[in-house]
Amino acid sequence: MSQNNDYIAAIDIGTTKIVAIVGQKEQNSKINILGIGQTESKGVKRGVVLNIEETSNAIQEAVEQAQITSGKTFKEVYVGIAGQHIKSVKNRHSKYIQGHENEITQDDIDELIEDMHKIALEAGEEIIHVIPQNYIVDNETGVKNPVGMSGKKLEANFHIVIGQVASARNIKKCITRAGMEVRKLILEPLASSDAILTEDEKEAGVALVDIGGGSTDMAVYYDGIIRHTAVIPFGGNVVTKDIKEGFSILQRHAEKLKVEYGQSLADLASENKVVTIPGISGREPKEISFKSLAHIIQARMEEIIEAVEFEIENSGYRNKLGAGIALTGGGALLKHLSQLINYKTGLDVRIGYPNVLFNNKINTKAKHPMYSTSVGLILKGYDLQKKHKNDEPYDIINEEIEGKTKNKDSLISVLRDTISNIFEDKDSKM
């Protein structure tokens, strides 16, 4: 790496903000954030880059801020990927074991995983990573690690995350134009999980819900294994839009209303309190009641909660979430949101702050739930540095793209050599 191994740089490209962050792992295995740069996100909608030029300029500005505040320079970064194009599927595969005493080896498991990369996909899709759920050896279920066991047939259930190749390439282009290089692309819900969830929660069963500006990311864990991932294509921005349209006010005023005075339970909002919003271009100011504001927010948040509930049911682990829901992201601090989610789902809810991972030297700005993904990218970066790229559980899309290109070049090279040898043989015979 062009940067020292004692610190990691990462970039979180969100719909409302772009964050560049530099972190360092201390001797106690906790993370010390050295610097943060943040700019308004431009050219991004629902986690997908739509304008490469605008996004790359915003990234460059955030990077410059992070380098100034941290006193560190870096060229290689870990980058989060999410967006409405992300989806997941479940699959099952099996193979018969050959060899000495039918002993299962790591090569057998690798072969099963490799076969999952060959499943049929729609045009423009690519497998981001394949996560084994559990193994079955000769009909014996619930096997977590079958290596070394003897058996004639090995089966496995897999969770497969799929994304659009074009979206990954566009992210990489933005980073490159900003003068950086992508070290790894990391699925954002997995990064947030590292920053927020404890090992006990992952074992007991928990649903991570990260409410961002343009989307809501989800990850469901049980028995220490990720079981389901999803990206719901709306977040805090749709609430702001509803407020703007409901009261016919400006976007910036709607956002301020939501953040400073908004709450998710209309029954708890005061009927007598109002807030005054400046009129547009000299027009009369508007008075907006807290009650009316809460009704608009609650209606939209209930829609998001219904989508979250659907994904939890779809995961198949609805009745196994002993730790309930861990709520994070910029939208997590909306007043009374935890109570509303608890009321609608019947699950325990806690707000997830990334501060549990920091020491006292931490830049306090990073303790906000909106930085959960950014901090998680730093943690994931340290984890990935320790693993061989063929063994790491969270593959990078552009590695697969480059791998295909290399294989293609290799094939062309072999054909070229073969044709050359044919002509050489003919010349020698003549």
- d(CA 389, CA 396) in angstroms, rounded, equals 9
- Smallest Cα–Cα separation from 16: which of 226, 204, 241, 300? 241
Give, in order, the Cα–Cα distances in Å from 381 to each of 45, 362, 409.
25, 18, 30
- Smallest Cα–Cα separation from 54: which of 26, 3, 13, 105? 13
pLDDT class of 358 with cuts at 50, 70, 90? low
Number of domains in the chain: 2
The residue range of the domain holding 133 is: 87-163
Residue 348 within a domain: no
Q: What is the CATH number of the domain that holds 289?
A: 3.30.420.40
Residue 263 within a domain: yes
As given in the structure block, the two tokens for residue 35 are 């610097």
Of the three residues 134, 163, 192, the one that is the final residue of a domain is: 163
Residue 225 within a domain: no
Residue 249 within a domain: yes
- Smallest Cα–Cα separation from 9: which of 48, 59, 46? 59
- d(CA 381, CA 185) in angstroms, rounded, equals 10
Global pTM reads: 0.81
Q: What is the CATH number of the domain that holds 122?
A: 3.30.1490.110
Residue 309 within a domain: no
Around Cβ 136, how many Cβ atoms within 10 Å?
Answer: 18
pLDDT class of 340 with cuts at 50, 70, 90? very high
* Amino acid sitting at position 12: D
- Give residue 400's pLDDT: 39
Residue 241 within a domain: yes
Read off the pLDDT of residues 4-43 as tens digits, 9 standing for 90 and up. Answer: 558 899 999 998 899 999 988 776 667 788 889 999 998 8
As given in the structure block, the two tokens for residue 322 are 């002993």
Read off the pLDDT of residues 166-197 as tens digits, 9 standing for 90 and up. Answer: 888 999 999 999 999 999 888 899 899 989 99
Sign, Cα dihedral of 182, 185, 186, 188: positive
Residue 295 within a domain: yes
Read off the pLDDT of residues 196-225 as tens digits, 9 standing for 90 and up. Answer: 999 999 999 999 999 998 899 999 999 999
296 sits in which H/E element: helix 290-315
- d(CA 196, CA 11) in angstroms, rounded, equals 18
- Smallest Cα–Cα separation from 259: which of 303, 226, 213, 219? 213
Read off the pLDDT of residues 372-389 as tens digits, 9 standing for 90 and up. Answer: 999 999 988 888 887 644
Of the three residues 163, 186, 220, the one that is the final residue of a domain is: 163
Read off the pLDDT of residues 381-424 as tens digits, 9 standing for 90 and up. Answer: 888 887 644 444 334 444 433 444 444 444 444 444 444 454 44
Of the three residues 163, 197, 219, the one that is the final residue of a domain is: 163
Residue 279 within a domain: yes
